[in-house]
Structure 1
């Protein structure tokens, strides 16, 4: 009875799947209209994920746990984790360890690939004097450094011992984007040096075209194949560290293809300047890519507001969570590294007891934290809608 009193009937009253426009219809639309409906499809699918979460009676189970005296530490394991939608379940310890293992495996595989490519490109540099290949060697050396930095930051972020929890009460998940940020700065500075060397060769370098022999060509081709494999795999793993490796792998695919193209084309056409020009263009390309990444992580680490779609999904979850939630007076969603911090101000009936409002608010907090993009949620309960909202701005 208490569960029904606090939660009520929270079954979805709308069929969001009816909003989804199929691919065949999208193809017939003008580009600007197609973009709108694709966004609508994404939002409807996200709402369907929330419906799947709440229709699993997750809120009812948590309130029953409170009533029966289940401890806070075991409450998460009592929640049903039978939701098939992407990430929308309380992850068990085994699931978290499996996810962590996938990230570690991806980092190790990239590490081994980078060792092989670094060795191979070192041999090519000894056989040729191509500045494009030297740029590619620098890229592989930085890949090796990138993987090392990301492995260290990921390992530190995932540490769960008690002393770490005492020193870092909210965890160290921000170490992952900080590791990516450090590497971004290193790679930008390094390729600025490569660009300077390329300019110097254009003005005062050798006038003989560089010849890229069959062994060198084979190693560079192998680099493209291995990086293509790494990109296809890493892009499917939802971790900022592994996503950085995926981005780097895609950059390497383009980089290695052009590192082959410029010296070979220059040799065939007799253009000595084609190789240093190619190295200059490659350096500009890499610098541009990583400057974007740098600014993205700086924005996230300094608390930029979250995506509008994420905010809509969180708002929808709060309003659907329980009939006793009368309104939301504030929903603040902002980055704290890769994932989001959420603050919601919820108005409930002032006739509720402290026990009831506590249980409702904490259950809502855990439900919001179930969302895969959320790091931590804070629920402020109020009895009227015209009280102060938020915090003092400093």
Structure 2
């Protein structure tokens, strides 16, 4: 809309649109077209690419390439395999097998993995756990958060707090249990026929997103890099690993999510293009002019009607301190004693009287309130004149 100045000064339109600043908005429409085109291309090209949880070749936030590179930097030979047969052919003796998904494995595959002469690291797995880690069973689910090890397992104690949770377990006799949640461990490790089986409730601490937090990288390196070779099994037809509970949002392809974000950006641009910016401040006459004295008198009448002598005294004291403190050369943070001493020295009044007037109890009656006001007024005049 157009705002008019005060009478006698004429009127001026102060509401040009943002479109007039950029050739009627053609530039913004061009940007919007580019963004929409990018969104469509993102859906077409990115819809088929799906991240794989704890895949050593995946660079997404849920992938495990960061962990694989960390292991290789520490001299661990990392071999990515997609089947149990490839794991057997890779030579598992003296190494460690890491498994984070059993959705496409058969019972025979799980039994064969359990027979291989290698340490077994099972991460975030719920199905066929009885075949892979006999004696370990799922006791429930728990929230994944930073947890302390609270155990004597060297790999955990050296790492410290880790982003751990997901599933809690019951452990066999002789097992070492760590990172408890509600009394149940989320990490179980125990010896079995000359090798070590370790079961972890959630593998998010190993992902690219979480690896640099807390002691996540240290625990991942200690568990997966305990042997000179790591066979990382990523089944070729696996579904995204997790707890088995997926909502509608998890089923939406990443390309669609990115397209929605870009379309929201386009909507914001269009809103800015169609909006009208604010103009300069325009002065206008007030309908009523109220004298300051009338405001003070009105507030005083309210205090009197409510017998609020304490609030009235507090207002008088606060106003006196605010006005006189700068004249005394004191900072606003000066304490009561400093203010009382400065006023007493400047006015020659007794410090006890000044302190009682500023910080004493509220007046008992209206006569006391009037006397307080008069005394504060006298002090203020003496401060100004000194």
Calculate the TM-score normalised by the size of structure 1.
0.18
Greater Rg over alpha carbons, structure: 2
Greater percentage in helix = 1
Greater percentage in strand = 2
